[in-house]
Amino acid sequence: MVLGTATLGLSACGGGDDRPAADLAAAQISTIGVNSYLWRASLETVSFAPLLQADSAGGVLVTDWYTNPSNPGERVKLTVSILDQDLRADALRVAASRQVAQGGTWVDAPVQAATVQKLEDIILTKARELRRQAVG
C-alpha cells in the first residue's frame, strides 16, 4: 500500500503530456560555450575586418587592424567578448582601439563611446533577429 502511494505521487511529478513544449529558439541555446545568437551576430558584425582570434568556447573575437579604404589615415581594432549564455545586453562587451597616421607612424587616438555603443547595439539587434528567424 505504501509503495503504491509513493508510485502514484512520483508519477504525478514527472510524467504526462502537460509539460510546456521546449522553446527551440530559447535565449540560452548554446553548444559552443556562449550564446550562439550573440556569437553569430558578432561574427557577422566584425566580418569586415580580418580576425586574429575567434574563441567560441571563451566567447572572444579579436580583429586585426582594419583600415577603411576611404580613410587610409585611420585604423581600428575590435575585441568582442560574450560574457554569458543568455541573450541579454549585459552579456556583451565591445572594446575598440583606434590609431591615426602621424608622420609615418601609427599613434593611438581616442575612440568615441558612442562608436562602441553603436557596435553593441548592432550585434544585439542581429542576435535578436537571428533568434526570431529560428522561431520561424
Q: Rounded to an integer, what distance in angstroms lies between the CA atom of residue 9 and that of residue 22?
A: 24
* Tens of pLDDT, residue by residue, the chain (136 residues): 444 444 434 444 444 445 444 454 555 555 678 999 999 999 999 999 999 999 999 999 999 999 999 999 999 999 999 999 999 999 999 999 999 999 999 999 999 999 999 999 999 999 999 999 988 7
Residue 29 confidence (pLDDT) = 54
Find, among 7, 37, 19, the residue nearest to 130 by Cα.
37
- The x, y and z cell numbers of residue 16, run together, are 504526462
Cell of 124: 544585439
Nearest C-alpha neighbor of 86 from the set 25, 34, 24: 34
3-class SS string, the chain: CHHHHHHHHHHHHHCCCCCCCCCCCCCCCCCCCCCHHHHHHHHHHCCCCCEEEEECCCCEEEECCEECCCCCCEEEEEEEEECCCCCCHHHEEEEEEEEEEECCEEEEECCCHHHHHHHHHHHHHHHHHHHHHHHC
What pLDDT was estimated at residue 28? 55
pTM (2 decimals)? Answer: 0.75
Q: What is the pLDDT of residue 25?
A: 52
